Structure 1
């Protein structure tokens, strides 16, 4: 029983630490925050990748569900812009999750399949939005990845309001005819405009 409680405590501490500080936080520091010895942590999680997998599994599953919901969303613009908004939300809350799903951190190798599935889903969302005329005809999935990269590089010292403004500007850049018709671009953005908590 004590062993299982220790394991759950390590996972909870690691999840919070990875969310705030990324996946490179030393295992020894996680052990210290959990009030346990490093040997206890290694007994449960011999490698960093084991701990990363355990700490982020639930969050990755939630992202999987969110992406499925986006693919099921009948409005192509709402689907694509919703993913961008969701990514920004996780940028503020879950630095480790972004590194696991969108970065190249070696400790996140267990999520390689999820990363590929997320990439394929993004390609579908962009293709749908382009076919529906919801985005500019020259927009590619790489353009959307550039937008996500801009969000990922956002300095967390700034406010959530600043990040929200960045997201809105990026979406205006993707939206069909947004530059030629600000009213049309604003109308397209309004359904997904939401404060990032």
Structure 2
């Protein structure tokens, strides 16, 4: 075999390896979005239509795969916080950011799992989270300085509020995927400084039928 053939073969192998890696990441992203991160590498291999060994050669554990899929999502969250700090109205900037994080969880089940679990084995996500936290603190301080946000709200309050809204997202998703916006509006009213305007509720309340359907869906999980 001559040198040209050897180099061509090596390039083909690298290209094949990158295609398989992309297929694995895309398959994992699909499964994480629809089922959350409680899946196995075997599930990913089946969805990607590659051998299990191919997945394990590129990702030694699921945490590495989670890190590879969600690192970009977390970077996008950090970019959104930076953009929110540029809004002329500090309250609107904070609301934009909170709504975006909730929307991400509504669109992708795995985002909630990543938000509310530890970062062990997920170095890229941990780095992105470290970037996000001071930006959220700045959003809070800016809204408080403007007299729009209660002075006793902290970054950990926003974390807990996001977890509350995530529970609403999970409950209402089968019958009213946008219902979380209504309950976020109610929470935002509780966060506003005294004497400020109410937050418009942009989604209707669940009907009796929807509540019963959502309850039935919870039982089937």
Shorter chain as denominator, the TM-score bin is 0.7 to 0.9
Determine which structure has greater relative contact order: mean sequence separation of CA pairs < 8 Å that are 6+ residues apart, divided by chain length. Answer: 1
The question of whether the paired residues in 2 share the 8 Å contact of 1:70 and 1:80 is answered with yes
Counterpart Cα distance in 2 of 1:132 and 1:111: 32
Distance 2:129 2:54 in 1: 31
Give the structure-1-normalised TM-score: 0.83
Alpha-carbon distance change, 24 to 108 in structure 1, aligned in 2, over 3 angstroms? farther
For 2:63, what is the secondary structure of its paired residue?
helix
What is residue 98 of structure 1 aligned with on the other side?
112
On the 8 A contact 2:24/2:45 being kept in 1, the answer is yes
Distance apart, 1:152 and its partner CA: 2.4
Q: Where do 1:169-180 residues align within 5 Å?
A: 169-177=186-194
CA distance in 1, matches of 2:202, 2:130: 28
The CA deviation at 1:102 is: 4.5
Aligned CA distance change for structure 1 residues 102 and 170 (closer, same or farther; 3 Å): same
Worse-matched range after superposition: 86-95 or 102-111: 102-111
CA RMSD of aligned residues (A): 2.1
What's 1:113 paired with?
127
SS in 2 for 1:185: coil
CA contact (8 A) 1:102 1:115 kept: no
Displacement of 1:39 after TM fit?
Answer: 0.3
| Residue of structure 1 in register with 2:29 after alignment | 15
Take 1:146 and 1:101, find their aligned partners in 2: how far apart are those partners? 11
Task: From 74, 81, 106, give the equivalent of 2:88.
Answer: 74
Alpha-carbon separation, structure 2, partners of 1:145 and 1:61: 17
**Is this contact kept in 2: 1:23–1:107, CA < 8 A?**
no
What stretches of structure 1 of length at least 5 have no aligned partner? none
Tell me which of 185, 194, 210 is aligned to 1:168: 185
Q: TM-score, normalised by structure 2?
A: 0.75
State the secondary structure of the residue aligned to 2:126: helix
CA contact 1:49–1:109 (8 Å) conserved in 2:
no
